[in-house]
């Protein structure tokens, strides 16, 4: 998939796409990419951009945090997720000649998601955790396509970007990968591993360094942003684990 194609796939409901952003949001997106050392703007920040004032406050707060500390914790989260993935023991996933391109896709998200995990864990302090995000028992598949089933199993909020790109670029692979991920998510170790990831991420950014939604917004706007933050604070650690499981499965398939 080309860069333009990937950006098109990443256009989801309730987001400000990178190509559609106005001048202020373009500048915020550029600062985010620099601060987090990422190549694209993850879904959560594209959704928060619908509340420009809050995204600006988050970016300003993030700029004041310690970049080396964040980098060290992000790396530690990936290492922990890799150990948990090995314990979950995903089966080999053979993607043939497409293996390098799929591996590159996983790596791109494997850079963005751990950094996002640190930010969302800090933003979600004091919020009620979202429910139904890869929590067993998962809803029956009932003939749904991959993206619809990913949405249902992640609580019906939005489809994580990785699954959007897999489903559009490699539909057969996405079907196989998601079927295996469904099984892994039912394992108790997946839930305990996610809890361990969140606990580790919570030490990266000190309380109060990033603004809570209610510190910047009021009324409906604050509630809407709290809903976004609460879901991603649950979904991003899930995706960090999902990606490590996929990376391990891919390495076994090409070994």
Q: What is the pLDDT of residue 254?
A: 74
Alpha helices in 20-138 (DSSP H): 23-36, 43-48, 52-63, 67-88, 99-123
**pLDDT of 76 higher than 90:** yes
Cα–Cα dist 195/155, whole Å: 17
Tens digit of each residue's pLDDT (9 = 90 or more) over 200-224: 999 999 999 999 999 999 999 999 9
Across all residues in the chain, what is the average pLDDT? 93
Interval 154-191: pLDDT, tens? 999 999 999 999 999 999 999 999 999 999 999 999 99
The residue behind tokens 């839930």 is 191
Q: Give the Cα separation of 42 and 200 in Å (integer).
A: 21
Q: Which two tokens stand for residue 220?
A: 């409906």
CA distances from 186 to 57, 61, 93, 156 (A): 37, 37, 19, 18
Q: CA dist 177 to 40, 171, 174, 246, Å?
A: 23, 10, 5, 7
């Amino acid at each position: 998939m080309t860069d333009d194609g990937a950006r098109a796939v990443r256009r989801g409901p309730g987001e400000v796409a990178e190509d559609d952003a106005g001048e202020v949001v373009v500048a915020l997106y550029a600062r985010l990419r620099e601060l987090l050392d990422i190549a694209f703007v993850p879904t959560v920040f594209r959704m928060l951009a619908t509340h420009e004032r809050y995204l600006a406050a988050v970016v300003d707060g993030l700029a004041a945090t310690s970049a080396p500390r964040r980098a060290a914790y992000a790396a530690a989260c990936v290492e922990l997720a890799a150990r948990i993935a090995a314990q979950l023991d995903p089966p080999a996933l053979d993607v043939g000649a497409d293996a390098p391109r799929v591996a590159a896709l996983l790596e791109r998200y494997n850079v963005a998601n751990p950094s996002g995990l640190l930010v969302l864990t800090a933003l979600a302090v004091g919020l009620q955790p979202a429910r139904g995000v890869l929590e067993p028992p998962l809803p029956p598949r009932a003939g749904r396509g991959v993206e619809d089933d990913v949405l249902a199993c992640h609580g019906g909020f939005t489809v994580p970007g990785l699954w959007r790109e897999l489903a559009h670029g490699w539909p057969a692979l996405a079907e196989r990968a998601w079927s295996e991920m469904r099984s892994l998510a039912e394992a108790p170790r997946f839930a305990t591993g996610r809890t361990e990831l969140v606990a580790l991420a919570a030490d990266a950014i000190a309380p109060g360094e990033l603004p809570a939604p209610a510190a910047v917004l009021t009324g409906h706007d604050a509630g809407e942003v709290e809903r976004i933050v609460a879901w991603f604070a649950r979904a991003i650690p899930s995706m960090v684990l999902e990606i490590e499981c996929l990376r391990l499965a891919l390495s076994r398939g090409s070994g």
